[in-house]
Amino acid sequence: MSLFTGAGVAIITPMKENGDVNYEKFAEIIEDQIAGGIDAIIVCGTTGEAATLSHEEHLSVIEACVKYVNKRVPVIAGTGSNCTETAIYLSTEAEKLGADGLLVVTPYYNKATQQGLYEHFKMVADSVKIPIILYNIPGRTGCTMTSDTVIRLCKEVPNIVGVKDATANMTEVARLLSKADGCVDVYSGEDALIVPTLSLGGKGVISVLAIVAPKQTHDMCQLFFDGKVEEARKEQLRALPLIDALFSEVNPIPVKKAMNLMGKEVGPLRRPLTEMEPAHAEVLKKTMEDYGLL
């Protein structure tokens, strides 16, 4: 059974000016997402600046998200690491804290073989009982998981149920879904490719766009599921200028800027991420105005 269908939000981690996590603001953002009809919340992923959270902060943010959501939508916790033992630790702790599922990224920097990836994910999955979505994002990790490895994991490991595909390679997505025989839930990791992924049999998206436009992202998916493909296509194309602006600098720099432009006051980024370049920020503001967010 799928962890979720539709639009999952890769939620940010708001910070205070001193760099501490802002839990009050985090609760507000979660309420806005649920009010907008979002279908799942993915916490402590790339967009949540997990790479610069301590282990204690990482688990505290997951715990807070589970508490604030209170079972209204699934909470999927990012618990990946380039160290298998660390990934196991974060995953088992997230399960104890009440996460409904896990998003586990391919090990970065190590450049594991396909067999190494298989063993890494199997060891993590064997340590928990909740479902796992694999996260294939070679542009961040320097490591590509092949469709054969994804299918092997989903077929052989009962609680590995799908993949977030952020390869931006629709040919490989098509190959994966053609070979998977229904055993892999595929979620787009590219906001520009939501409808194309759904058209091939994908289950939804894990989205940055949804942070600023939860209703629009949910509705884009729902229109497609309701058979209103032309309307979904139009929504996808309408969102493209905004999506381009949200990725004009490395994520989550632009989306945090967008939230602050909307008056959400989500605070600064943690280094080494820096504030958005003024020229890019102007383009972002203009696209947000055109999209109806400002």
- Rg of the chain, C-alpha, whole Å: 18
> Strand ranges (DSSP E) for 112-246?
132-136, 160-165, 185-188, 204-207
H/E stretch holding 78: strand 75-78
> Are 53 and 86 spatial neighbours (Cβ–Cβ below 8 Å)?
no
Q: Which residues have C-beta within 8 Å of that of residue 230, sequence separation ≥ 6?
A: none
Is 164 noted as a catalytic residue in this protein?
yes
Is 135 noted as a catalytic residue in this protein?
yes
Active-site residue, from 25, 164, 203, 264: 164
Active-site residue, from 118, 135, 187, 291: 135
Q: Which residues have C-beta within 8 Å of that of residue 290, sequence separation ≥ 6?
A: 241, 242
- Phi, psi at residue 51, to the nearest 5°? -65, -20
Distance CA 49, CA 272 (A): 11
Tokens of 97: 């804290």
H/E stretch holding 41: strand 40-43
Alpha helix segments (H runs only) across 101-169: 114-126, 138-141, 147-156
Question: DSSP state, 21?
Answer: B
Q: Which residues are catalytic?
A: 135, 164
